[in-house]
Amino acid sequence: MQANPYGLESLWIQGDLITKGVTTILVVMSIASWYVIVTKALQLLSYRRASHAAGHAFWDTTNLTEGVATLGTNNPFSDIAHAGITAMRHHAAHKGHLHDQLLVSDWVTMSLRQAIDETSGKLQAGMAVLASVGSTAPFVGLLGTVWGIYHALVSIGTSGQASIDKVAGPVGEALIMTALGLAVAIPATFGYNALVRSNKSTIAKLNKFGFDLHALFITGARSCSTEIVGDNGAKIVAVRST
């Protein structure tokens, strides 16, 4: 079976240094973006399981030790719970040094906030790669497109005629470069948008869990919000403990 003279294999064999360089860059960008997409998706999937435990199983236990055990390990919800427990123990152990400077509520709040911020930083790791690939890959492909069109014009100029056999190869090279740039940029862009939405949802759940933990450590009960409609129709959010 005869190989396609205008396929990817022929493009690589017949291409010059710039063509091969552009193709290599696009392949590397594609591998990097897919690596980030897959690893972040698996990370968010494990966080989703942990968030379910933090919203249900944790609060169905009879004591804090059992509750922390339901969260598992190596997830932000477990890290936040341990951060709160450590903060409470540290404040109690150094009460004589800390009570005049910082209330236990403020100390726990800062510890929980620091744990949430660390998780937020981990969630953002790799997102810059997707943003960069999604915004630059089309232009990298465009460079290959312009170079292919240049080759087509050179072929026309050297041959003196614009026959199809003279321009088909370079024009095909240009179109392939355009397609490669889009094939790299589109998944990176969609992946970035999907991961941003998932990250926001995860951070919102972390903040909610941290707020409930703060109430548990300070008051001994989980806080729950209830909407009450006033006489003027306005909604008032009341916080109660359970």
pLDDT tens over the chain, length 242 residues: 445 555 555 555 566 677 788 888 889 999 999 999 999 998 888 888 777 777 777 777 777 777 777 777 777 888 888 888 887 777 777 666 655 566 777 778 888 888 888 888 888 888 889 999 999 988 888 887 787 777 667 766 666 665 665 566 666 677 778 888 899 999 999 999 999 998 888 888 888 888 888 887 777 666 654 443 444 544 433 444 45
What's this model's pTM, rounded to 2 decimal places? 0.71
Residue linked to tokens 């972040």: 40
Q: What is the pLDDT of residue 166?
A: 59
**CA 93 remoteness from chain centre:** 38
Using an 8 Å Cβ cutoff, are 203 and 120 in contact? yes
Q: What is the pLDDT of residue 37?
A: 93
Q: What is the pLDDT of residue 162?
A: 57
Distance (Å, whole) CA 91 – CA 112: 14
Using an 8 Å Cβ cutoff, are 214 and 103 in contact? no
Question: Which residues make beta-bridge pairs with 235?
Answer: 229
Distance (Å, whole) CA 87 – CA 106: 10
Distance (Å, whole) CA 241 – CA 217: 12
Distance (Å, whole) CA 189 – CA 187: 5
